[in-house]
Structure 1
Amino acid sequence: MTRIEFYVLADGEPASRARAACQLASKGWQHGMPVFIRCQDASQCEALDTLLWSFRAERFVPHELHEHDPHAPVVIGIDEAPAVPQGLLVNLSSSLSPHVDQFSRVIEIVNQQPELLTVCRDNFRLYRQRGYDPKRVEL
């Protein structure tokens, strides 16, 4: 069954959430997992694409937007199905992915923005209702 984790950040900054997504994508790729970063919209996809080019000066994280190469080691998209199953999904969207079962691991990144906390609590309950056992991880 898919492993679901909610990584909880201590601050409410959207930039911290994006950096955490990049760090998790880098770690997943380094461990040989295909990674899919699911964004809320095209604007967030473009911002993450740019951030992945520069967030670590010492190491390049090979990535592409789904529309350009769905088989890249790290793929950035919205609601597309993963081209390579059983990888890591880093979900930055406010809803559950329609493809949760195609991943071996799903990480939801939560920060302290009140509206995001509410959405993530609802998502936590939805995962439970669907038979998953989501875990909370404090960062």
Structure 2
Amino acid sequence: MTRIDFYILPDTTLEARLSFACRLAETIHGKGYRLHLHCADRSMAEQLDSMLWTFRPDAYLPHALLESDMAESVPVTLSWTALPTPTQATALLNLHSEIPEGVNDYARVAEIINQHQEVLITKRACWQRYKQLGHEVVSHQLKS
């Protein structure tokens, strides 16, 4: 079964959630995984695409929107539609409110929870669903 890591932030804002997503993406990529960031919608994907260029002045994380011509040549992709077919060493960072179809095919899955009420409710349901499906679910409580 796929291991699911939940990162629980003390913040309430979408900006904090996406900022942490950038740092986590860098860490996951640094561990040798290909990575797909599954966003809630086009707006979030475009915002995150922009943030990945600027989240740290000394960082470079090669990425592209899954719908672009560059998607095949970069290790990190973003989209809000169906998941791409993963290779054996592909991780998924799910920023969508629901668990996407095909999540079982990924080596690892990460979920980010902040203290926004809507996120708490939807991710609590995801947690329960992952457990029902028999996945190993691990939480990481982050400090401010």
TM-score bracket relative to the smaller structure: over 0.9
1:1-139 correspondence to structure 2 within 5 Å: 1-68=1-68, 69-71=70-72, 72-86=74-88, 87-139=90-142
**RMSD of equivalent CA atoms:** 1.2
**Contact kept in structure 2, 1:82 and 1:102, CA below 8 Å:** no
TM-score, normalisation: structure 2? 0.91
- Which shifted more, 48-57 or 82-91? 82-91
Moved over 6 A (4+): none
TM-score, normalisation: structure 1? 0.94
Deviations 1:47-86 (A, max 9, x none): 0000001111102110000001333211001233324423
**Contact kept in structure 1, 2:63 and 2:71, CA below 8 Å:** no
Q: Which structure 2 segments of 5+ residues have no match? A: none
Equivalent-residue separation in structure 2 for 1:136 and 1:79 (angstroms):
26
Deviations 1:73-119 (A, max 9, x none): 11001233324423111110000011211211101000001111111
The residue matched to 2:60 in structure 1 has which SS?
coil
- Over the matched positions of the two proteins, sequence identity in percent amounts to 36
- Code of the residue aligned with 2:28 in structure 1: it is G
